[in-house]
Amino acid sequence: MAVKDFPYNAHPATQLRHLTIRQLRSLAALSARGSVTAASTHLGLTQPAVTQQLRQLQDLAGLPLVQRTGDGMLLTAAGREVLALADRVEAAIADCQGALDLLAGRTGGTVHLGAVSTAKYFVPHAIAEFSKRFPKIEIKLAIGNREEIREAMHGYDLDFAVMGRPPADVTVDVRQLGRNPHVIVARKGHWLAKDRGLNLTDLVHETFLTREPGSGTRTLMEGMFQRSDLEPIIGMEMSSNETIKQAVIAGLGIAFISAHTVAHELAEGRLIILDVAGLPIVRQWYVIRRSDKILLPPAQAMFDFLGSEGSAYLPDVPELRGQ
């Protein structure tokens, strides 16, 4: 494409005030790619469309902007001046976007996130990835049992929470995050480890190590036994899943627990899952916010992130694949 393909006039370049972003980007793409064909591919436009943009820009400039050489289409001195303008305009647009994002809270601000204690085994990993994408957003994480997080959802301090069954006494918006399987675990070498098809009746003489009342896991376990008209032997109540795991490994009893909390211990062989009929009991993880809670852009961004990508951070439990 020769210079004569881009007609120009001799009037002053005051008409540059009428140029468009698309024209500047066409010139920048031509400079970077060396041909109209490559520039059109880069911009996702047709070759005639790019040619038209370049012709219009050169007409507004009133000087030749490009010339054909053995190395392809190159910019003239005037073309390089306009290209510098294009660079400044793109930088100004980026700066303006950054300022608007900051004002809107998309790249700054604080998110108040609550999570039940069982979720602490994957929520920090999701937060880490979100923080890589939005490093200026501060995340404040509050951990509690189900009852504590449910009570927190009655107020407006939390933007949203990660938990299991949504509270029934608060109107909420819910995003499903992923499956939450619950199993019964014992120490490696437990006398029931090799048995298959166990029933709850086979476990009534076992000592259960369990979470405190108000915990979602404790409530789920009690419901499981009540449906079978059985009552487990409770050896110790603990407010920490970590303590329960260590107590089971030490041989103080067995535990009904979320498989996500024991994924590492299962992989290391320190704990095993007992083969009990009806298990795992699978519940769901949810991201929950009050319906009348207005989320600022940072919180909305993280709420959407967890709803769409949060499942990728759930621990993998090979023993339960296919169940």
- In this prediction, residue 4 has a pLDDT band, given cuts at 50, 70 and 90, of very low
pLDDT for 317 beyond 80: yes
Query: Please, are residues 248 and 186 in contact by the beta-carbon 8 Å criterion?
Result: yes
Tell me the pLDDT of the chain averaged across its residues: 90
Q: Supply the pLDDT for residue 192.
A: 95
pLDDT in tens, 192-202: 999 999 999 99
Q: H/E/C letters for each residue in 188-253? A: CCCCCCCCCCECHHHHCCCEEEEECCCCHHHHHHHHHHHHCCCCCEEEEEECCHHHHHHHHHCCCC
pLDDT (tens digit per residue) in 211-257: 998 888 999 999 999 999 999 999 999 988 999 999 999 999 999 99
pLDDT in tens, 61-120: 989 999 988 877 899 999 999 999 998 888 888 778 777 777 776 777 889 999 999 999
